[in-house]
């Protein structure tokens, strides 16, 4: 996994609440057996005017000129500004894969759905929670200034605006450590092999019917 330390990038605002993972990556693209290549189909139903299917040449498809990510001023954005309960619905990890492949490194929203939030950390995306009022302010500033960019510093746990204003955010210590260092979860867990085996032996004594 790609480590996340500090990132400065352009902000794209997605001004709607309860954006679900079906919207982030529609189901027809979940048929892929790969982990990569979902970026061109991120937000497919909002982003294009036609119906997308796997295997299409996305560069030839008609873009929806009204969809915010298609506006010239938000091209190259790497920070997604969103509203509450972002990423609700299906557990598909294809959603963070698509956002990452599109080029997003961080998301800022007042709240996230639990599974999506967790999935982001596994894929080098930092989901930042800021108070609704601060998020509101950022929506206004993004609209007001073309090229509006933010700096995210994971080690310091702050988001810094172009005006130099800093906003602190919370992140769980263990998740932060792993993201900062881009650590492989499985290799880390396997360091606990003895403890897992000891637990397993105890469990087999107590609940033998789970070990048939």
Decide whether 19 or 106 has the Cβ nearer to another protein. Answer: 19
Decide whether 20 or 153 has the Cβ nearer to another protein. Answer: 20
What lies within 8 Å, CB to CB, of 109 at 6+ separation is 81, 82, 83, 84, 86, 127, 128, 129, 130, 135
Q: In angstroms, what is the minimal distance from the CB of 165 to another protein? A: 24
Instruction: Please report, as ranges, the residues that interact with another protein according to CB under 8 A.
Output: 16-18, 20, 22-23, 26-28, 30-35, 45, 51, 54-55, 83-85, 88-94, 96, 111, 113-115, 118-119, 122-123, 172-174, 185-186, 189-190, 192, 195-196, 199-200, 203, 206-210, 212
Q: In angstroms, what is the minimal distance from the CB of 148 to another protein? A: 21
Decide whether 9 or 48 has the Cβ nearer to another protein. Answer: 48
Q: In angstroms, what is the minimal distance from the CB of 149 to another protein? A: 25
- Look at the alpha carbons of 120, 85, 74, 35 in this order and tell me if their dihedral is positive or negative: positive
Q: In angstroms, what is the minimal distance from the CB of 164 to another protein? A: 29
User: What distances in angstroms separate CA 189 from CA 2, 97, 152, 178, 192, one per listed residue?
Assistant: 19, 23, 28, 12, 6
User: What distances in angstroms separate CA 197 from CA 120, 129, 161, one per listed residue?
Assistant: 29, 37, 49
Decide whether 118 or 151 has the Cβ nearer to another protein. Answer: 118
d(CA 175, CA 36): 23
Decide whether 165 or 184 has the Cβ nearer to another protein. Answer: 184
Show the beta-strand stretches assigned E in the chain: 6-14, 79-82, 106-109, 126-129, 149-153, 158-160, 166-168
Q: In angstroms, what is the minimal distance from the CB of 163 to another protein? A: 25
**DSSP 8-state symbol, 62:** P
Q: In angstroms, what is the minimal distance from the CB of 40 to another protein? A: 16
Decide whether 6 or 192 has the Cβ nearer to another protein. Answer: 192
């Amino acid at each position: 996994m790609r480590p996340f330390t500090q990132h400065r990038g352009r902000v794209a605002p997605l001004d709607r609440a309860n954006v679900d993972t079906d919207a982030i990556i529609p189901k027809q693209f979940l048929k892929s057996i790969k982990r990569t290549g979902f970026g061109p189909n991120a937000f497919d139903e909002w982003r294009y005017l036609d119906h997308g299917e796997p295997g299409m040449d996305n560069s030839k498809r008609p873009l929806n000129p009204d969809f915010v990510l298609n506006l010239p001023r938000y091209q190259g954005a790497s920070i997604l500004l969103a509203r509450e309960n972002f990423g609700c619905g299906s557990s598909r990890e294809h959603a963070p894969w698509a956002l990452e492949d599109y080029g997003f490194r961080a998301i800022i929203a007042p709240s996230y759905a639990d599974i999506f939030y967790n999935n982001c950390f596994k894929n080098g995306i930092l989901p930042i929670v800021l108070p609704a009022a601060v998020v509101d302010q950022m929506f206004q500033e993004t609209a007001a200034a073309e090229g509006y960019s933010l700096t995210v510093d994971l080690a310091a746990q702050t988001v810094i605006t172009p005006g130099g204003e800093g906003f602190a955010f919370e992140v769980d210590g263990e998740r932060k450590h792993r993201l900062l260092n881009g650590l492989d979860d499985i290799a880390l867990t396997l360091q606990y092999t003895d403890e897992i085996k000891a637990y397993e032996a105890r469990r087999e004594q107590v609940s033998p019917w789970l070990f048939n």
